[in-house]
Structure 1
Amino acid sequence: MRKLEKLLIGALALLCIVYLTFTERNAGIHGNSKVRKSTQENSEDRQVVITPPVLRGFPSFDITGTEGKRLLYRRIQCSDEIVKPGHKIPNVIHYVWFGRLTLNAVQYYSIRSTALIQKPKFIIFHMDHPEPDGPYWERLKEEVSCLRTTYRKMPESVMGRPISLVEHKSDVARLEILSEYGGIYCDVNVFFIRALDPLMKHSAVLGKEEDRSYGNSFIMAEKNASFIQLWRSSYINFDHTRWSDHSTVMPRRLHKWFPEIPLHVEQYSMMRPNYMDGEDWLFYNNWDLRYNYCVHLYVNEPTVKDALEAILQHSESDIVTLDNTFGQLVRISLFGTPYFKVDDLDNKLLRVHSAVQCSEENVDQRIPNIIHYVWNGERIQYQHYLGVRSALQMLKPSAVYFHVLVDKDPFYQPYLMLIREVTCIKMMNQTGAMQQQLQSTISAENKKLLTSLQILEEYGGALLDLNVTMLRPSDDFFALDFAIGKKEDDFDYSVVIAKPRSSITRGWSGGIANGLRPSVALLTILQSTHETFLVNEQIVAAPQRGWFETTGAHLPFARSLSFRNSGWDSLESDRNEKELMLGTLPLGTLARSILLG
C-alpha cells in the first residue's frame, strides 16, 4: 500500500509540476488589487521604562542601576525589493487566518519580530475577514508600513476530499499561497531571531520538528516550488480524521521518498525549542538563540499556555526584564537584541558556549586519544553535557565519536549544545552493528556493551558512559594497553580505555557473545593476557544516592565520577543555568569547575 501511495503521489506531482511550469500565474503580489495597505506610517517612537519587576515564579534580571532607563522600540524598515539578487524566494511574509482574529500580545510580538528582523517587502494576512482587530493590531499598523490584508476564501475540500477542521484548511491554503506567489509562510506565534538571507537561495526550506516530522508552521518556497507541488499532490490521500499526517509527517516522508526534489531542511534552527524540550526551556532557562533563525511557540500546549497567561498579566516593563527564553524573544521583537543588560556571569557563559576546539597534537602513545560515547536512545540531560565537556577539558582528545545504536537522532537540547560547541564531534551510525546483536539471546544491556567493545576494538581510545564526569587528567592510562575502573567486587564499565585491536577487548567481547557474564568474561581474559593493563578504584568513583542534593558536598578524589544508578537522572538540571552556577549543590560545583575553571 505504501509503495502504491508513493507511485500515485509521484505521478500526480509530476503532472502538477509540468502543468504549472507552462501556465504560471501572472497576478504578482504587488499587483493584487484586493490588497489593503495600512493607512498609518510609524508613529512617534514607543518606549519601555525599566521598573523593579514584580513577576513571581519566573527568573528576572537584577535591574539595579538601570531603574528608570528608557528603552526605545527599534523602528521597522521594510525592503524595497521582492526578490534580492541571487535569491529564489521572494522576501514576502504570508499569514493565514480564517475567522475573526483579535490580535493578542504574543501575536503582536511575533509579527513585530518578523517585520523588524526580516525587513520584508510585504507582510500579507490572507483572511476571510476584512482584517484583524484589537489594540495590538492598531499598534502594528502604526509601526509596520508594509502590512497588508487580502481576502481569501476558506477552502472546503482538497483534491476532491472534504476538509472539516479550520486548522487543516489553513494547512491547505498556505501551500496554495506559496505555490501561487512564493515567499515565507509563518504561523502567528513564530518569532524571528535573525534574517533568512542565507536560506533564500533554496527552492524550498523546512525545519525539522522531530524524527518523524518537519514543521509546517514555518515554510519558505519559491513560486511553483517542486516540493510544494509534491506536498500538495499528496493530499489525494488526505484523511481529515488524522491530525498531523499531511501537515508535518507527510513532508518528512516525501523528502525520504523523493530526495531528488529540491528541499533544504534546517535540523535545529527553526523548530527548537519545542514541545519535546518542555516549557522549562522557554520560561526557566535561556536557550542559546545565536544559532536560531526563528522560534515557534507551541502556545496550545497546556503548560506553555498557562505560563504565558501568567506572564502576560504583567506590564511590558516587567516582561522585558525576564531572564529566560521568552524574555529574549520579546526583547528581540521590541529592541532587536536578546539582552538589554548582560552581567559578568552572562558574558562568561556566552564565551563558554562558543566553539571548543579539540587537540591537534599527535601524541606518541599506545592508545589513541579518542573519546567514544555510545547512545541507545536514552534521554540526554544537562549533566551529560557537563560530562562531555569535562572529558574534553581533562583528556584533550583529537576526536569525539558519538555512536548511535537506534534509528533516530539524539534530539535533546544538551546534545544540540554539544554539536554546536564541540567542533570535533562526529556522529557514527551503528544501527547495523546493533541489529546483528539483536539476533542473539544475550540481555539488552549486554548487547549494548558488546557493540561498544567492538567499536573500541576497531578504533581504540576511551569508551565513556554519558553519566561519567572527568575530574582530573588521565594521560598515564593511555600509555597502557587496557584500563578499566573497579567497584567493590566487580568492574566498572563506565570507563574503559584500550588500544586498537587489543586482545583483551577482543577476548572480552567474545566471551560475552558466548553467553558469559561480562565480569567473568573479562576476568578470564585478564588472567591470561600478556598485555599491560590496570584495574583501579581510582579510575572512576560512584557517589552514594543523595550526594547531589547535599549542600557543600566535596568532590571525591578520583579521576572521574560515574552517576549511573545514583539518582542523577531525577535532578531537574535543565532549569536555569545561572541559578545552578550560583548555587551550592554538587552539580553547581561541577558546572563551575568544568565551564568556568
Structure 2
Amino acid sequence: MPEKTNLSEHAQPRINCQTMQPVMELENVTGMEPVQVFSENSECLQTFVKENCHDKELVPNLVHYIWFSKREMNFYQFLSFLSASRFLDPCLILVHGDHLPFGTYWKYLLKLVPNIMHVQKSPPEDIFGKPFGYIEHKADIARIQALQRFGGIYIDTDEIILRSLDPLRKYPVTLSRAVDYNLSNGLILAERNATFLNIWYSQYKTYDKSQWGYHSTIVPYQLSKRYPDLIHVENKTFVRPSWQQLPLLFEKNFDWSKNYGIHLYIRFYKFTHDFNDIKYLNTTIGSVARHVLYRSKELCEK
C-alpha cells in the first residue's frame, strides 16, 4: 500500500455543533472511529460549509459522492476518493447515502483521508410523482440535490481526478462533453443553488424510466445550448476516452495529460487489481492508478 506510518494513531476531525458557530475540532484517536453523521437537512453542516468551504471562487472546494445500498469499497472506488483528496485538497468530502462503504479499502482510506463526513440520505423513490426505474437514476437526481443545497464538486465513484479543478471553480456550473451530443454528469462543479441546476432539475417533470441517460446527459447538453451564459462546457476533459473508446482505457496507453479527470467505466472492465500488480500494468488504468497512488505514472521494474 502507499506509504503511511503509524496508522493506529491519527487525528480525526469533528464538527462541533454545540458552539455558537460550528467549528472543526481535531481529536486524536487510535483505531477506527465512526465517521461523523449528519442528517440531510442539517443546519449545522450547511452553516459550517458556508463559513469554511468558500473562498473567492463561486464553487466551494467541497466534494460530494453518492453511495446508495450496502456495498464494499473496491480498489477503483478507493482511487477515486484518494484522487479527490490529493489533487483537490477539499474542505470536506461528503458521502450522501443510506449506508457508508465498508471493507479493507474503506478502512485504509479513512486513515489517509480524515475529513470524510456522512450525510444520511435515503434513495429518492420518485421525482415529480414519477417512480424511478433504476438506482442509477436515483443517484442522478441525488447529486443535483446535493449541489443545489451545498454547491461544490460532485464525483462518480469511478471518476479519477488527475489535477486541480481550481481553474474551473470560477464558473457557476461546469460540465464536460463525453461525446459531441451529450454532457457527462460523472463530474459536476456548481455553485450553491445554481440557476442551471434548478432548470435541469425541473426538466425531470418529463422523466421516463425507459430512457436510460436522457435526463442525465442529453437534457443538460440541450440546456447548455439554450442557456450558454449559465454553464461552462469543457471539451471532453472529464471523460476522455469515452465509453465508445474503452480499448484506450483497458488495453492501450492514452495520453491523459490534458484531462482534468478520467472515467474508468469499471462496470465494463473484467479485471481486479491491487496496490501491487497495478505497478506493472501497462495500460491507461495502470498509469492513472500509479499517478494517484505513487505520484508517478511510470511503470515499475519487477
Q: What is the TM-score normalised by the length of structure 2?
A: 0.80
- Residues in 2 aligned to 1:240 and 1:89: alpha-carbon distance in whole angstroms: 31
Q: Look up the match of 1:188.
A: 157
- The answer for the alignment partner of 2:244 in structure 1 is 276
Is the counterpart of residue 154 in structure 1 residue 123 in structure 2?
yes
Q: Are residue 199 (structure 1) and residue 158 (structure 2) matched? A: no
The corresponding residue for 2:295 is 336
Q: Shift in Å at residue 245 of structure 1?
A: 0.8
Tell me how far apart the structure 1 counterparts of residues 16 and 203 of structure 2 sit (CA, whole Å): 31
* 1:314-463 matches, cutoff 5 A: 316-339=275-298
CA drift of 1:340 comes to 6.0
Q: What is residue 286 of structure 1 aligned with on the other side?
A: 253
In the TM superposition, structure 1's runs of 4+ consecutive aligned residues that sit over 6 Å from their partners are 30-33, 37-43
Q: In the alignment, which residue of structure 2 is the partner of 1:172?
A: 141
Q: Deviations over 1:526-585 (max 9, x none)?
A: xxxxxxxxxxxxxxxxxxxxxxxxxxxxxxxxxxxxxxxxxxxxxxxxxxxxxxxxxxxx
Task: Describe the SS at the equivalent of 1:180.
Answer: helix
Asked if the contact 2:238/2:260 (under 8 Å) is kept, the reply is yes
Aligned to 1:214: 183
Counterpart of 1:104 in structure 2 is 74
- 1:256-304 deviation per Cα after TM superposition (whole angstroms, max 9, x unaligned): 22334x101110211101211122x123322112101000111222xxx
Measure, in 1, the Cα distance between the counterparts of 2:30 and 2:213: 39
Letter in 2 for 1:84: D
Aligned with 1:263 (options 231, 244, 268) = 231
In structure 2, the residue matched to 1:82 is 53
Corresponding residue SS for 2:267? coil
Asked if the contact 2:279–2:300 (Cα under 8 Å) also holds between the matched residues in 1, the reply is no
Number of residues paired by the alignment?
262
- What secondary structure is seen at the aligned counterpart in 2 of 1:287? coil
1:240 aligns with 2:199: no
The structure that has the greater radius of gyration is 1
Contact 2:179 2:236 in 1 (8 A): no
C-alpha distance in structure 1 between counterparts of 2:58 and 2:52, whole Å: 12
Structure 2 counterparts to residues 513-532 of structure 1, below 5 A: none
Unmatched 5+ residue regions in structure 2? 1-14, 19-24, 32-50
| Structure 1 position 110, deviation (Å) | 1.6
1:124 Cα deviation after fit: 0.9
Q: How does 1:535-546 map to 2 (within 5 A)?
A: none
Alpha-carbon distance between aligned partners in 1 of 2:153 and 2:127, rounded to the nearest angstrom: 22
Please tell me whether residue 119 in structure 1 is matched to residue 89 in structure 2: yes
The reply on whether 1:94 has 2:64 as its aligned counterpart is yes
The percentage of aligned residue pairs carrying the same residue is: 32
Corresponding letter in the other structure for 1:270: F
Distance apart, 1:244 and its partner CA: 0.7
Seen in structure 2, the aligned counterparts of structure 1 residues 137 and 192 have a Cα distance that, compared at 3 Å, is same
Alignment TM-score, normalising by the size of structure 1: 0.42
- The answer on whether the counterparts of 1:81 and 1:91 sit within 8 Å (CA) in structure 2 is no
Question: Within 2, Cα distance between the matches of 1:233 and 1:283?
Answer: 37
Aligned-partner Cα distance in 2 for 1:89–1:195: 13
Q: Indicate if the aligned counterparts of 1:42 and 1:145 stay in contact, CA closer than 8 A.
A: no
Q: Which string of whole-angstrom CA distances, capped at 9 and with x for unpartnered residues, describes residues 119-146 of structure 1?
A: 11111110112x2110110001111011
Rounded to whole Å, the distance in 1 between the matches of 2:143 and 2:194 is 13
Deviation at 1:320, TM superposition (A): 1.3
Q: Distance in 2 between matches of 1:111 and 1:289?
A: 19
State the SS of the aligned residue for 2:208. Answer: coil
Q: What per-residue deviation string (whole Å, max 9, x for no partner) do you get for residues 139-179 of structure 1? A: 01111011111201221111222213111111111101100
Task: Name the CA shift for 1:266/1:333 in 2 (closer, same or farther; >3 Å).
Answer: same
What's the counterpart of residue 10 of structure 2?
A: none
